[in-house]
Amino acid sequence: MTDASRTPRERPLSPHMSVWRWHLTMATSIMHRMSGCALYGTALIVTAWALSLAAGPEAYGTFKAVLGSFPGKVVLFLISLAVFYHLAKGVQHLVWDAGHGFELKSANAGAVASIAFAIAATLAVWVIAAMTGAL
């Protein structure tokens, strides 16, 4: 039987972006999703690395030259930032999933800590890279 009621009803939508005031936990949550999408591309770069290594010295040299160029290093810098941010914010999400840290104070502290960890760890890695001749 075809009847008008068979068409899907309006489903609830979430999140209602327009009813929220901007605040830190919201911004860091959006950044978590954005960095996750950026890491999608990063995984494809890792696959390209493995393919070039399996293809031999010439292909591997080309891969390293591309990533070692200035634009390549800028991309690598942004990747390191995304990795550390997604890692830290992901840990906060795991804490939330365990049922802890929902009070406004600790939620905000976790957001600040995620950003601080991302910046500190990124800078530390690039300093180590410069010192060990990885650059």
Partner 1 sequence: MTSYRTPLSRARGLGAAKHGVGHWIAERVSAVALVPLVLWAVFAVLRLAATDYDGAVIWLSNPLNAVLLTLLVAVSYLHMHGGMQVVIEDYIEKPLSRAMVLLLNVFVCALGGALAVFSILKVALGGA
Binding site for partner 1 (CB under 8 A): 1, 3-6, 8-9, 11, 33, 36-37, 39-40, 43-44, 46-47, 50-51, 53-54, 56-57, 60-61, 64, 80, 83, 87, 90-91, 93-94, 97, 125, 128-129, 132-135
Residue 16 to residue 111: CA distance in whole angstroms: 21
For the record, the structure tokens of 2 come out as: 């075809």
- DSSP 8-state symbol, 11: P
Nearer to partner 1, 51 or 123 (CB): 51
Asked if 115 and 89 touch (Cβ cutoff 8 Å), the reply is no
Nearer to partner 1, 90 or 101 (CB): 90
Nearer to partner 1, 56 or 105 (CB): 56
Residue 26 to residue 59: CA distance in whole angstroms: 43
